[in-house]
Amino acid sequence: MNIREISFLTYILKCKTFSTPLSDYCIKNTVNGNGMSLLAAYADDENSSILGFCVLNKMNFKNISLDYLLVREENRRTGIGKKLLAAAINYAKEQGNVAVLARIIINTKEEDLSFIIRNKLLTNYGFQITRTSSIIRCNLEKSKPIWYNFMKEKGEKLIARSKAKGFSVVSFAKAGGLIDNLKKKIKDEFPRELNPTHFIDNPVDKLIPELSFIAVKNNIPVSYCIVTTVDGKALVFQQLSVALKYKRTGVFFLPFAAFMEQLFLQNSYHKVSYTVLDTNKEMIKLVNGFLDSFIESKKSQNFYMLLI
Ligand SMILES: CC(C)(COP(=O)(O)OP(=O)(O)OC[C@H]1O[C@@H](n2cnc3c(N)ncnc32)[C@H](O)[C@@H]1OP(=O)(O)O)[C@@H](O)C(=O)NCCC(=O)NCCS
């Protein structure tokens, strides 16, 4: 077996019998990096078949992200995964990177086996968990009456209180220069673990301007939410973030409520997933206080890093 870098064309031609929609997605979704590399494990020379591959996404700040690792089912448990991972780490070093990032999604309903394997692979090479989050999928049909009830009992009061204090909310579709203003403030004035710039102008994880909102006071962004779609059918509520200065003021609710209202008005999406970082207190508050009653499935994801 030998491992070499392959082109996108070789991926299309030689990996299509075992590649997955997720590997295709990871390859397309490299827009905000500095390019993508594919490493493949050939059975023998370049004319032989490919037994597995990994997708490396070159990020900013001398980090490389291992976005996907896949071995043909019939060739698993023979050490190919480990060799691809070792090759990826070597490749990252040769390219002058300082860290390799990786992410694992764990479907709690599935058997834990795949998690154990992937976790084992990464931890054996010294990767450490940097943060964890949940992906929560909700059924919109079920949530509609619960949402309107919640608004009547609690939500409307929260919004009225914020409005009385001079806060308002605007969609990305109508935000104009506020979006650049938000981009400028992200680094210093918002929690660092969330960054909306990855999703702004991203052709794969497309931001939906009519469903993403910024709350403002005196024309200054105080909180925002980012909602995206890949296929125009399923929605992902990617981020809800509040400026550090406005923590515990309740302004996180403004963009979230505007999103929910608009979502039910448009009525064109049926499923929505919420990404919730375990450190995002505002989002956790919403999940526990409101979303919990119509969760259909819940997955966890771990983010790993290896300093090289
Ligand atoms: C995860 C995956 C890439 C591993 O590839 P692989 O070639 O089978 O892995 P290896 O043979 O190198 O094994 C790596 C380790 O996992 C263990 N392992 C692999 N399959 C296992 C299984 N079915 N049960 C228990 N342990 C297993 C191996 O024993 C080895 O452990 P060791 O380091 O202690 O010897 C492969 O299972 C796969 O393609 N899975 C589906 C796609 C996927 O989940 N990709 C990750 C998304 S980012």
Secondary structure of 21-34 in HEC code, one letter for each residue: HHHHHHHHCCCCCC
Residue type, 203: P
142 & 74 share domain: no
Residue 176 forms part of a structural domain: yes
228 & 147 share domain: yes
- Domain finish residue from 42, 75, 97: 97
Q: Whose CA is nearest to atom 34 of ligand 1?
A: 120
Residue 230 forms part of a structural domain: yes
pLDDT of residue 30: 72
pLDDT of residue 158: 94
221 & 281 share domain: yes
Residue 107 forms part of a structural domain: no
Range of the domain at 272: 136-300
- Domain finish residue from 37, 67, 97: 97
- The structural domain count of the chain equals 2
The Cβ of residue 215 has, within 10 Å, a number of other Cβ atoms equal to 26
Residue 145 forms part of a structural domain: yes
Cβ-proximal residues to 94 (8 Å cutoff; 6+ apart), any chain = none
- Residues (pLDDT < 70) of the chain are 31-33, 107-112
286 & 144 share domain: yes
How far, in Å, CA of 200 to CA of 203, rounded? Answer: 9
pLDDT of residue 108: 57
Closest ligand 1 atom to Cα of 118: 1
Alpha helix segments (H runs only) across 219-296: 253-266, 281-289
Are the C-beta atoms of residues 250 and 161 closer than 8 Å to each other?
yes
Is 68 touching ligand 1 by the criterion CB < 6 Å?
yes
86 & 150 share domain: no
pLDDT of residue 160: 97
88 & 167 share domain: no
Is 114 touching ligand 1 by the criterion CB < 6 Å?
yes
Domain of 88, CATH number, reads: 3.40.630.30
176 & 288 share domain: yes
pLDDT of residue 295: 85
279 & 146 share domain: yes
144 & 213 share domain: yes
48 & 178 share domain: no
Q: Whose CA is nearest to atom 9 of ligand 1?
A: 81
91 & 142 share domain: no
**Percent residues over pLDDT 70 in the chain:** 96
